[in-house]
Amino acid sequence: MGPSVRFPGFAGKGAEMAGRRSTGAVPARARKPSRPKRMTGPEIAEMFARFRAAMPDPRTELRYTSPFTLLVAVVLSAQATDAGVNKATPALFARAPTPEKMAALGVDEVESLIRTIGLYRTKARNVVALSRRLVEEFGGVVPHDRDALETLPGVGRKTANVVLNVAFGEPTIAVDTHIFRVSNRTGLAPGRDPLAVEAGLETVVPPEYRLHAHHWLILHGRYTCTARKPACERCIVNDLCHWPEKTVL
């Protein structure tokens, strides 16, 4: 067996009850794991240099054919996996590859095509509503502007950042659960909420790496620096990571 791994904020009931039996006293509050110290500028530059060497041209795992289908795919991916979205969207996009056709398809038909995706009813309403807005207010074109994107139903800052980055080549960083975890765990850009982490990343990520930073971090969090069992032993930046709980020192 490999070395045991301790996870932040976890305390087993068995250990707690054992403590009560052995001492007869109410156990002290579990000690919170220490926060990792912030990564230094040279460490951050080295981290992204390694990401670039390993994956020079990272891409989103969502399948799309245009800024519009990308927008729809990202809206559908909220609280769902990219793989799950990719199973549903081919049939949807074959029927409705444009805002005009999506609006004409209607909520009931969109629901039937995305039923395998979580929250499909709400997402179907949002997809049809945003399609109508695109037709009525933007000439059927996805706007190249964060504020305008965020006025669309079902589109928040994270979705807008993904569209700006992937469809329009803007160096935006959309902070999802994976990027939030990696940024806090490693000491790259600690923050209490996604907006704080985004601001931190925009400050510390060197300009030459910012365009692909979103994809490098999300893929690292999805496949290596996972929530429950991070694969520290095969992490290409484990020597730079400041997480006190890492299993490779």
Catalytic residues: 158, 176
Asked whether the beta carbons of 145 and 168 are under 8 A apart, the reply is no
**What is the DSSP secondary-structure string of the chain?**
-------TT---HHHHHHHHHHH-SPPPPPPPPPPPPPPPHHHHHHHHHHHHHH-SS---SS--SSHHHHHHHHHHTTTS-HHHHHHHHHHHHHH--SHHHHHHH-HHHHHHHSTTSTTHHHHHHHHHHHHHHHHHHHTT---S-HHHHTTSTT--HHHHHHHHHHHH--------HHHHHHHHHHSSS--SSHHHHHHHHHHHS-GGGHHHHHHHHHHHHHHTS-SSS--GGG-TTTTT---TT-S--
